[in-house]
Amino acid sequence: MAVDRRSRSAALGRAVLVVIAAAYLLFLVGLPLVNVYGEAFARGLSGFRDGLAAPPARHAVKLTLLVVAIAVPANTAFGLAAAWVIARRRSAAARIVQVVLDLPLALSSTVIGLLVVLAWSPTIGLLGGVVRASHVKVLFAWPALVLTTIVVTLPYVAREVLPALHQVDRAEEEAATVLGASRWQIFWRVIFPAIRSSVLYGVILCAARAAGEFGAVSVVSGKLIGETNTLTLHVERAYAEYESVPAFAAASLLTTVGLVGARSAPKSKGAMRPKARASTSRPLRGRYAQHERFLVIANRARPFRSVSRRRARAGARRPGRSARPAPCPVRPPRPGRGRAAGPARRRRGRTAARAR
């Protein structure tokens, strides 16, 4: 009786917590979402379409896509390189890279925009001489928008790839190296399949953050209509001028991008890596198990063997170059041979000698 009472109270406590969490999310997230889409379609589909078809809105969408198209590939390449350095190196450079990745998360985006102004201003900037000599307009133009967006979205890809990269076994890379794979082949065939979903999620998060950036771009853009107004700045200007439907129509686009990014999150950390193939052989023990594990990894990297042999034959055909020998397949030692079998063999020999 007491057990049933405790179980009922526990179930009631869980239900109360679920209701409180759902009400909290509904109040903070659900109602604003409903308001955004409701105001965007307040005048029907034609009003929504007219709000996005205005010349300032079209220019804002194009400029936002341009900034995202430049910032996301740049941060993807940097994020992969930074995650590799942090995961595979234990040096001062790796710690410095980790600190650099944490700075955009610790600083306000407005402060980042101010730092870009202090760096690239032609009058007071640290690189003002270079800007004046090159006759390139950085501030109050699209290059400043790209620079600030790259800095703000710097850590997203690296932070998503780093946990998945820590889960990749170094033995797989070493086995591919032994089998003659190049560094690019190791990355594309061994490492990238294990971190593919993390890279995709980091790219989506980076794109959503780049499209929705407001504080930093408002500092460096100058808010010039039809020139440096991104989609977020267009929403602010339209709402300030009491154009509610165009403002909420543009805001609904940004909201949809954010929802798609949140929906594409990986289900679990285990989904980052492909499932290991089940071994059909009988499990071994001791040093034989290490050889069996190496052979399983070598079978995954089997395409590298043919590549190495083709390279060896190509090197042999070229005059003046020595042929690179093809790697030999590694096989586990047979039971009953090696150092462990020496004493047993000697005992059998002494027993045979006594019998004679």
Can you give the residue range of the structural domain that contains 202? 55-245+262-272
Would you state the pLDDT for residue 9? 79
Would you state the pLDDT for residue 236? 92
Distance between CA atoms of residues 166 and 161, nearest Å: 9
Residues 6+ apart with CB under 8 A from 189: 176, 181, 301, 303, 304
What's the rounded mean pLDDT across residues 109-127?
89
Nearest one of 201, 219, 246, 328 to 43, comparing CA atoms: 246
What's the rounded mean pLDDT across residues 69-78?
94
What's the rounded mean pLDDT across residues 181-185?
84
Would 352 be classed as within a structural domain?
no
What residue type is assigned to position 295 of the chain? L
DSSP states along 286-305: THHHHHHHHHHHHHHTTHHH
Would 250 be classed as within a structural domain?
no
Would 252 be classed as within a structural domain?
no
Task: Say what percent of the chain tops pLDDT 90.
Answer: 26
What's the rounded mean pLDDT across residues 160-180?
85
Would 18 be classed as within a structural domain?
no
For residue 240, what is the domain's CATH number?
1.10.3720.10
Instruction: Give tens-digit pLDDT for 246-287.
Output: 899 999 988 888 888 777 666 544 444 444 444 444 444 444
Task: Say what percent of the chain tops pLDDT 70.
Answer: 73
Q: For the chain, give the mean pLDDT.
A: 79
Would you state the pLDDT for residue 279? 41
Instruction: Give tens-digit pLDDT for 196-243.
Output: 889 998 999 999 999 989 989 999 988 888 888 999 999 999 999 888
Whether 121 shows a pLDDT value over 80: the answer reads yes
What are the backbone angles phi and psi of residue 301, rounded to the nearest 5°?
-95, 25
**How many residues are listed for the chain in this entry?**
356
Would you state the pLDDT for residue 273? 42
Would you state the pLDDT for residue 353? 67
Q: Range with the lowest mean pLDDT among 81-85, 189-193, 284-288, 301-305?
A: 284-288
Distance between CA atoms of residues 178 and 304, nearest Å: 9
Would 96 be classed as within a structural domain?
yes
186: its two tokens: 């190791």
Secondary structure class of 190 (helix, strand, coil)? helix
Better-predicted residue by pLDDT, 350 or 315: 350
Would 285 be classed as within a structural domain?
no
Instruction: Give tens-digit pLDDT for 147-157.
Output: 999 999 999 99
Would you state the pLDDT for residue 44? 87
Instruction: Give tens-digit pLDDT for 304-336.
Output: 545 455 555 555 555 554 444 455 544 555 554
Would you state the pLDDT for residue 4? 73
207-210: long-range contacts at Cβ-Cβ below 8 A with a sequence spacing of 24 or more?
Answer: 207/68, 207/72, 207/257, 207/261, 208/257, 208/258, 208/260, 208/261, 209/152, 209/153, 209/156, 210/67, 210/68, 210/71, 210/72, 210/149, 210/152, 210/153
What residue type is assigned to position 120 of the chain? W
Whether 64 shows a pLDDT value over 90: the answer reads yes
Whether 69 shows a pLDDT value over 90: the answer reads yes
DSSP states along 32-47: HHHHHHHHHTTTHHHH
What residue type is assigned to position 280 of the chain? T
What's the DSSP call for residue 28? I
Count of domains forming the chain: 1
Would 76 be classed as within a structural domain?
yes
Would you state the pLDDT for residue 309? 52
Instruction: Give tens-digit pLDDT for 82-100.
Output: 998 888 888 888 888 888 8
CA 283 to chain centre: 36
Would 78 be classed as within a structural domain?
yes
CB 113 within 8 A of CB 219: yes
Better-predicted residue by pLDDT, 330 or 31: 31
Would you state the pLDDT for residue 355? 67
